[in-house]
Amino acid sequence: MADVALLNGRIFTVDAARPWAQAVAVRDGKFVAVGKDEEIKELIGEGTEVIDLGGKLALPGFNDAHLHFANGGLYLLGIDLRPAKDENDFARLLKEYLRKIPEGEWVTGGNWDHENWPSKKHPRRELIDAFTPGHPVMVSRLDGHMALANSLALKLAGITRDTADPQGGEIVRDRKTGEPTGILRDKAMDLVDKVIPPLSRAQRERAIRAAMRHAQELGVTSIQDNSSAEDLRIYQDLLKRGELGVRVSAWRGIDGWADFQRIGLRAACGEPFLRLGTVKIFVDGSMGAGTALFFEPYADDPTTRGLPIHTQPELEALVRGADAAGLQVAAHAIGDKANAWILDAFAAARAANGDRDARHRVEHSQVVRSADVERFRELGVIASVQPSHCIDDMRWAEKRIGRRVGDAYRWRSFIETGVHVAFGTDWDVEPLDPRLGLYAAVSREFPAGGPAGGWHPAEKLSLEQAIEMYTLGSAYAEFQEDVKGSVTKGKLADLVVFERDLFGMAPREILTTPVAMTMLNGSIVFRRRGSGD
């Protein structure tokens, strides 16, 4: 008999053999039957929990293929500068936050976005120095590739007008005086990061627990995480205590690939709740920070084509080594040149090490030339994309890169070419909410609406496609498509139920349709207050 039976639903299974069902039965954390009410009722016994879905829409649990989970939790618990409407509002929010914390405590996080301000100008340290003499501050732009440091933070890091720019980074300086403005790009942020006291174990665990609660409320049951070593220790401890509330694929930096090789750890190692074997490498920065790497100069700043984080030979050597060790490489690449470079590196690794089911992936894959879309397919490379970036970046993308926006956010082009696509959010850069990603994929419009018909509408997806990329597509990206990602007999019983049918509404209504219930491993981990069985 089933442990749980869910009846009277409208279930989009993401299983091509049976796309729609009415009911499911769960036993020992897996789907044991998928079909009609009368079929599932045969598996109801005295100990079966019966849940009437009341015609609600159910989907496989969402799998966020790219995020920063602990940082997202810290964002929930800390300062939020994203709502700042201009420089003065930025300063006001920071002042309010300082009243809540002890003197001398570092201020980090933030997620500000100067593109939302009328001036479109980067903030400078002078904006905040007067009221932060006792607090070192380094607050990041929302993409994580640019930060503002106050004078105290620069002093503690030893950054002066004479400090050289590091490889892959820039200390922005005043054009007249040569003094640092406080803006640090990409690898230059590391200079300050090194002097920021690490979070305590308790602080980091508190952030991860907050992130888990938030994920469950949104129907996210699996995550593919840019993890720190401390995060990995916390995940292991939570798993041991039976308190890990999401399934985790924990990534590590590519610099440590040789450590994995020494102990024989390869891609897709682990069990259903915690997996290892993916290593992350940065090829470039971001368009918002002006550090994404392009073949041609930026349209709004012809003096730069972006910043490579590694030289091309260094990049190829790192990828070749990780590939030889049997690991999966997740490569951050935004600009067209960055995407071309990493595809070259994957091709060189294949030539050196032989062909295998490596499932290397390009994180973001934002601006990709048509010839390189085809190379994704030829090399079996996954496009790991975040649809909500599109409807955020399209406010300023054309100003920044001109006609190249025609090569940007090419979701349908990838799918029609036969490229495997996975969806995520890049939380805390964008909200964790999958509804925003679904809306972006099907509309390519701002959340408030427009442009009419969508921005470059030929790249829009159907809702069915978008859900598949967020579930089965993401499962494929972590070698788990046979285990999860669809409501199929034998797969893990992860499920999200919505209060209303997303298929029967205008796209903008998706944004406000609540999650009614989230099931993880056959157990209800979230139920919306007031939502009946």
pLDDT digits (tens, 9 = 90+) for 18-65: 999 999 999 999 999 999 999 999 999 999 999 999 999 999 999 999
CATH number of 1-61+486-533: 2.30.40.10
Quick one: 439 exposed, middle or buried, by C-beta within 10 A (0-12, 13-18, 19+)? buried
Strand order in the sheet with 4-7: 30-35, 23-27, 4-7, 49-52
Percent of the chain with pLDDT over 90: 93
Give the mean model confidence (pLDDT) for residues 379-405.
97
Interval 461-489 mean pLDDT = 98
Tally of CB atoms within 10 A around 501 = 13
Q: Binning pLDDT at 50, 70 and 90, where does residue 199 land?
A: confident
Across the range 145-161, mean pLDDT stands at: 96
Q: What is the pLDDT of residue 160?
A: 97
pLDDT at 309 > cutoff 50: yes
The whole-number average pLDDT for the span 361-385 is 98
Q: What DSSP string runs through 221-255?
A: EEEEEE--HHHHHHHHHHHHTT---SEEEEEEEGG
Listed in order, the ranges of the chain carrying CATH 3.10.310.70 are 68-193
pLDDT at 533 over 60: no
> How would residue 532 be classed by pLDDT, with cut points 50, 70 and 90?
low
Yes or no: say if 83 and 143 are a contact pair by the CB < 8 Å rule. Answer: no
**Residue in the structure block whose two tokens are 């100067």:** 114
pLDDT digits (tens, 9 = 90+) for 280-292: 999 999 999 899 9
- Contacting residues for 340 by C-beta, under 8 A, at least 6 apart: 295, 369, 372
Nearest to 476 by CA among 143, 58, 71, 60: 60
> Across residues 471-491, what is the average pLDDT?
98
Which CATH code fits 68-193? 3.10.310.70
Q: CA 51, CA 96: separation in Å to the nearest integer?
A: 46
pTM listed for this prediction: 0.89
Average pLDDT estimate for 157-177: 95
Contact 227, 274 (CB under 8 A): no
State residue 157's pLDDT score: 97
Q: Where does the pLDDT of residue 77 fall: very low under 50, low under 70, confident under 90, or very high at 90 and above? A: confident
The mean pLDDT value of the chain amounts to: 96
Q: CATH 2.30.40.10 in the chain, residues? A: 1-61+486-533
What is the C-alpha separation between 222 and 529, in angstroms, rounded?
23
> What pLDDT shows up at residue 143?
86
